């Protein structure tokens, strides 16, 4: 099964209500919210106030992608519902198992995310408690950066390590969805590709 999660950060934010409706009308798996704090990555996207407004605007599941240096703050503040999922970056915290359990204690699913330069080998043990892994397939938050072909080997390894749901995020299009689904990817975060096709 192929699950699509459009990233609202890549939409026309001046018309965010209608952009959310586009996602709702496209039979997508979730609405994806990239939370960037200006420290973990250079850009700043959404604060809690706007995230709360987005959450009130839709009943869709939301996949939150925490590209932040202090994930604990955000996990505590997010307006989470039962079908949501929260991804934390392993690079942001020394004890990812603690973060995973903190997310689960909020009553939602958890996931771990990896920048392209980070090996997943030291995190194999987490597959026993966390079935979701997100592999960044381009450098995060660098507009125009291209898909990194070497990430395919990381995807194959994630499947070997028994992560149930393999997500990819970064310069994903229809051709890559077809190719990557054949090697085990189940969930695709789409940004500019989705919103440009639906304008």
Does residue 100 register a pLDDT over 80? Answer: yes
**Beta carbons within 8 Å of 79's beta carbon, 6+ residues apart:** 51, 52, 55
Tokens for 33, please give them: 């919210």
What 3-state class would DSSP assign to 24? helix
Give the pLDDT score at 143. Answer: 57
Give the pLDDT score at 1. Answer: 79
Mean pLDDT of 68-90: 97
- C-alpha span between 177 and 28 (Å, rounded): 14
Mean pLDDT of 123-145: 87
Q: Which of the residues are catalytic? A: 34, 169
- C-alpha span between 72 and 93 (Å, rounded): 9
Give the pLDDT score at 142. Answer: 58
Spell out the CATH class of 3-197. alpha beta
Q: Tell me the per-residue pLDDT of 137-192, one tens digit each, with 9 for 90 and over.
A: 998 755 557 899 999 999 999 999 999 999 999 999 999 999 999 999 999 999 99
Give the pLDDT score at 62. Answer: 98
Mean pLDDT of 75-80: 97
Q: Tell me the per-residue pLDDT of 13-67, one tens digit each, with 9 for 90 and over.
A: 999 999 999 999 999 999 999 999 999 998 999 999 999 999 999 999 999 999 9
Report helix angle 16-24 to 48-57, nearest 10: 50
Its pTM stands at 0.95
């Amino acid at each position: 099964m192929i699950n699509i999660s459009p990233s609202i950060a890549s939409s026309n934010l001046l018309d965010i209500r209608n952009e959310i409706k586009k996602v709702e009308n496209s039979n997508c798996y979730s609405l994806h919210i990239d939370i960037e704090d200006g420290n973990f990555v250079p850009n700043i996207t959404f604060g809690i106030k706007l995230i709360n407004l987005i959450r009130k605007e839709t009943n869709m599941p939301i996949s939150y992608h925490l590209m932040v240096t202090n994930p604990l703050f955000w996990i505590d503040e997010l307006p989470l519902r039962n079908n949501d999922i929260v991804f934390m970056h392993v690079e942001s915290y020394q004890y990812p198992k603690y973060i995973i359990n903190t997310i689960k204690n909020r009553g939602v699913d958890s996931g771990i995310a990896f920048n392209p330069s980070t090996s997943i080998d030291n995190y194999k043990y987490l597959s026993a408690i966390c079935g979701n892994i997100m592999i960044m397939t381009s450098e995060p938050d660098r507009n125009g950066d291209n898909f990194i072909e070497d990430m395919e080997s990381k995807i194959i390894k994630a499947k070997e390590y028994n992560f149930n749901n393999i997500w990819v995020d970064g310069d994903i299009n229809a051709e890559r969805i077809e190719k990557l689904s054949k090697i085990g990817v189940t969930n695709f975060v789409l940004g500019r590709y989705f919103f440009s096709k639906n304008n």
